[in-house]
Structure 1
């Protein structure tokens, strides 16, 4: 667990690019924890894991939550219940995540946008044997604060759903996934940390935590207990243990997990960025599947 309180410490560690991140509270794990998480999830068996909505990113939430909570989900939604339910061991996760509840329920939502619809069209075109060149999506670059503000109705919806589904002794939490081709936050490429750029959630939102995955590299968590955003760092790795790749750390583990699952339905989170010959430009390319 990292408390980034001193300017010299943060600059020496290379964690921040500007003074706005000073004082940010962060929790960091290594890729070894993600490896462990995939192994734990695999033990749940393909039948239970088949209920994860891959195209909505529920598998990403399962991997990251298992990693940070140090436990796989006790229950997955198979009958209209909560998306993910975890039994909590207070000695296994940071105390600032939850209060003293014995379990934590999560609803997983993705921020709407055009990309998955366009990607479905690309897949259909390729399956028909036609050329998909020129098919793509244009995305407006926005601030993280504006994207968060527009996602507040999703947060409130999650709170309402959990209010109907779980009892009072279960922690209520949201996990929101933002695909960069749906909503592209400028800070994801300009800042090492996202949390300093996010405004506090309104006080009438009573979820214990709200996790936001700014796919593929940034994860932030609103803590009702601390009344602040926490940076959750998961993309650190030892090059001697993880192969160099155009894919991000999370994309590599996601691909490994879907292989274990035997999933072949297309993965909208499987892409890479590469430079182009245009002036100062870069394109996002789907990696071959």
Structure 2
């Protein structure tokens, strides 16, 4: 049986508006140099969640602009089509001009946007809210394309692969929706809230969860391929690189899973770090 109070409370980072501006300094400079290569279209940049940008940073950073959102920002921005997309605690999805920092449009979700970061594909931006709804919004004018209601809070960020939008919910399910219509393709039940963002490679969806399992699911039909017990709650999202998945747990460790052998191949613990790993890893050049 799954434990009551499934995941210990996640750290709430009530990011003030200024923090969004500081983060933008990093991403905007990359994008200004190579917009097509450096678009950051979803949480951690791509469906493998590697967290690595394609653009090169200049030797000196300078503030390009700031935008007063008026509410806390807990998630990360996405960059695409010359716009910066970010959600606020007031429930607004904002589209801000990348060059000028001026607001193009805002879309009201009707709820609070927490840790769910926007994702953009084919002229549509997707974001979840704490009311349990995933919203699909037209990039061109901020009008609603569709919305899908889950049974719990959505803190997971959407991942897009092969015209499918994947999202986790605190109703203990992973959902796969048609990106164009919002129709349910499939849903996978788990034994705890799905806090983390799913990662995808080679037609397989990988997800960590508060039920102490790491799962592989076939993207096309939602068939469960494997389940590996991790021995701890996991709020961090998996990072996929070189045939392995990497993620931290609430047991103060980082795990590496061989995706072909479907087993944990190593564990890392820092004796000086006795806190859960909330953040997701960054993988570059095998490190």
Question: Where on the TM-score scale, by shorter chain, does this alignment land: which range?
Answer: under 0.3
Work out which structure has the larger RCO, using CA pairs closer than 8 Å and 6 or more positions apart in sequence: 1
Which has more helix, going by share of residues?
Answer: 1
Question: Over alpha carbons, which structure has the higher Rg?
Answer: 1
Which has more strand, going by share of residues?
Answer: 2
| TM, length-normalised to structure 2 | 0.26
